[in-house]
Amino acid sequence: MISAPQGTTVEATTDSLIEDCCRTISRKSFAHVGAEVATSLLRQRYGLDVGDWLEFEESFTRLTPDGYMADGGRYRRRRHATFSASACGADLCVAAHQPHYQSLTYNELNGGVARHFDPIESNVLRGDTLTAVLTLGCELFGRLAPYSGWHIEVHQFRIEADGTSIALPTPEGTHRDGVTFAMMLMVKRANVAGGVTTIYDLDDHPLQEFTLSDPMDLAIVNDERVRHGVSAITSVEDGELGYRDVLVVTYRHKPAGD
């Protein structure tokens, strides 16, 4: 777990945390950043506003059903948006709304088709929270790959557990997303158990497991070097809906000129 150094200025502390994250990702190809550290970075370095976070959190109540679940599941809600950024995260901007596509190589369950999801609401799209998260990713990955521009996709997910069926945060199983880097930010868990994240090497040997449990717990993976999956969730209180809200942001190398 990446922890904050003691007895330093805010600027020095956040610089150190960014360096620690980059070194960890470079060495292990993944990082689990606890809520305290991620919150410090997002608030102190990138200006995340507490009020905007609460609005961001509340927006997950308005996600719409995922109509592309090949397993017939009705437990997933989501919204989607696309951004672009030049090298080192400069010129981060919203791109025209477009479908999400993964080949069957990376998603045997739901891949192979262009999936048209409802767009992320405009106030969320340009809010302090999403801007802070995207900027954090651009800084981290800009240091790890300083000459790359980025095609960025943002996914808001709500997985619902009602006690009557299996609820799978990653219904495709252990997988890669077909991108360069991915970030998974916990927003809120309510009345659920499970949802354990496991990181695997490319031969499917488990490397580490952890649970994103607190708001702003963060997992980061180098998608070219590791695979990941999340176990099923179940509701804790019978008859009460449980849910797991997560923001997933992927960064894919963008060829020069695109």
3 state SS for 157-209 = EEEEECCCCCECCCCCCCECCCCCEEEEEEEEEECEEECEEEEECCCCCEEEE
- Domains annotated for the chain, with CATH where assigned, are 10-254 (2.60.120.620)
Note the pLDDT tens digit of each residue in 95-140. 999 999 999 998 888 889 999 999 999 999 999 999 999 999 999 9
Asked whether residue 11 carries a pLDDT value surpassing 60, the answer given is no
* pLDDT tens figures, 215-226: 999 999 999 999
pTM equals 0.93
Q: What is the mean pLDDT of the chain?
A: 92
Label residue 183 by pLDDT band (50, 70, 90).
very high
CA distance 10 to 149: 29
Is the pLDDT at 257 greater than 90? The verdict is no
Percentage of residues of the chain with pLDDT beyond 90 = 83
